[in-house]
Chains A and B, each alone.
Chain A
């Protein structure tokens, strides 16, 4: 009896270890990202996570100034995703949309990090940092949940603690389209 209990415990621990820190298996997350540029590609979360990733710190503030973060954010640089479908030219715009019907349009400069950053302590604009716009899938070491805008969310990150305007942080991203 004791042996059976021990075996069950070991199996449970092993199963837990196979899960991501958020407690969700990658394969269980239903997520397809459609990329449209010169051609069209559809990527699963697993394929996105297999791409070279980057990590940085970033947070955002809402319309009324409520601060969220900064978080440790991990994801794929937006420009790398755009490169998979032909890349962005100087005059192109990148339309990022979500399954809830939200859409935000970005310039190439923004995709390359051209945002105004704010100090989380003072909410003052801070001198331009090296920023990066990423498609985040992991926040503070856990896969994004639906409540945190996951499985895929836009994030703007840098090397230090900083905030950007919240409307850029598109939640539940399912489509990225490059418009010529």
Chain B
């Protein structure tokens, strides 16, 4: 055989191998996952695990603010397979009934105050004195902008709830309101406090540093340019920061305090998205997901959702600092069949979690399923 013939054969073989490889790549099904930005760390691991177990699937992960995540479906009409948000109420508010008719909660969070060893008074700050420490001269505090970030308006809720918890009517004003020009005002309507955020939020003192999101605050903490930052517990843990756990009555992480959380409403200065209003009502933080009605791959993405709420999926979340809850669904009868099984399993635990029974989602689940088969270990906390 001539050398040229051998060369041609080698080239042909190489072309065939490359073509086969390319074909295999092209055959992967792309599932588009649009998720809340605060899940970026756990979702990187979730993506790795799911893809390794499903070699034919390529997860296309996109992190956004929760409202923006939903808008990819409702306003931008992108083909999204699953939407995951950091505020479960957004799904019924923005997606029902045209774009979705069920959702499943699976994770939670708590508001904390993150800091470093270099932060002023780091050695003495605690659950009972934090608001006095933050007010001390020279101490700087980072906030996310409530107009742009859910963590921002939740920070204002924490400061407002703190006034009741510590029986000190000056906390919100001293810590937040008086540091802005124009100021942030509060009106009492019955037992509800309505906080009015101006359309432009500009600090007038050096006490407060405001940025668009937690990513920027992390960098400032790292550099020592701020001493403390209000932040989700998951983010503080994921970035190795010290953090102060706040009382359950004010940290927005405890369903048993839902009634008191609801007594704070943040009214934002402008409507950043026409598809959602300006009021944000205090609620326990629950992460939730749904498969949009127009998802391109509803069957396959149900496998992904099932993986997310499986023992392995929830463990990945917890191992990466994201607190989980026993998954619970709103309108479970409308979920894909394979997910109903997950909710049923979850549903079994409900009678041991009285605090959940007060929520509409679980009341609906109550009506759906038989609750006799209880196998949840007594005393196991609802957040696992």
How many chain B residues touch the partner (CB < 8 A)? 29
Contacts of B63 in A (CB 8 A): 62-64, 66
Choose, from A19-27, A97-105, A132-140, the stretch at the interface. Answer: A97-105
Contacts of A65 in B (CB 8 A): 40, 215
Indicate which residue in B219, B223, B269, B273 contacts A102 across the interface (CB closer than 8 Å).
Answer: B273
Which interface class (under 10, 10 to 19, 20 to 34, 35 or more) fits A? 20 to 34
B380 on the interface (CB 8 Å rule)? no
A125 on the interface (CB 8 Å rule)? yes
A161 on the interface (CB 8 Å rule)? no
Given contacts A63-B37, A64-B40, A125-B219, contact A101 B200 (CB under 8 A): no
Contacts of A116 in B (CB 8 A): 211
Contact (Cβ within 8 A) B269 A105? yes
| Distance A167 CA – B76 CA, assembled complex (angstroms) | 16
| Distance A80 CA – B76 CA, assembled complex (angstroms) | 30
The total of Cβ contacts below 8 Å across the A-B interface reads 60
Contacts of A62 in B (CB 8 A): 37, 63-64
Contact (Cβ within 8 A) A105 B40? no
Contact (Cβ within 8 A) A105 B76? no
Contact (Cβ within 8 A) B219 A103? no
| Distance A63 CA – B75 CA, assembled complex (angstroms) | 19
Contact (Cβ within 8 A) A102 B40? no
Contacts of A61 in B (CB 8 A): 215
Chain A residues 89 to 127 lying within 8 A of chain B, measured CB to CB, are 93, 95, 100-105, 107, 116, 123-125
Contact (Cβ within 8 A) B272 A123? no
| Distance A64 CA – B202 CA, assembled complex (angstroms) | 23
A-B contact pairs, 8 of them (CB 8 A): A63-B64, A63-B68, A64-B37, A64-B40, A105-B269, A105-B270, A124-B223, A165-B212
Other than the given A61-B215, A63-B149, A101-B75, 14 more pairs (CB < 8 A) read: A63-B65, A63-B215, A64-B37, A64-B63, A64-B215, A65-B215, A66-B63, A100-B76, A103-B273, A105-B200, A123-B215, A124-B223, A165-B212, A167-B148
What are the 7 closest A-B residue pairs judged by CB atoms, nearest first? A101-B274, A64-B63, A63-B37, A165-B212, A64-B37, A64-B40, A65-B215
Measuring CB to CB, which residues of chain B are less than 8 angstroms from any residue of chain A?
37, 40, 63-65, 68, 71, 75-76, 148-149, 199-200, 202, 211-213, 215-216, 219-220, 223, 269-275
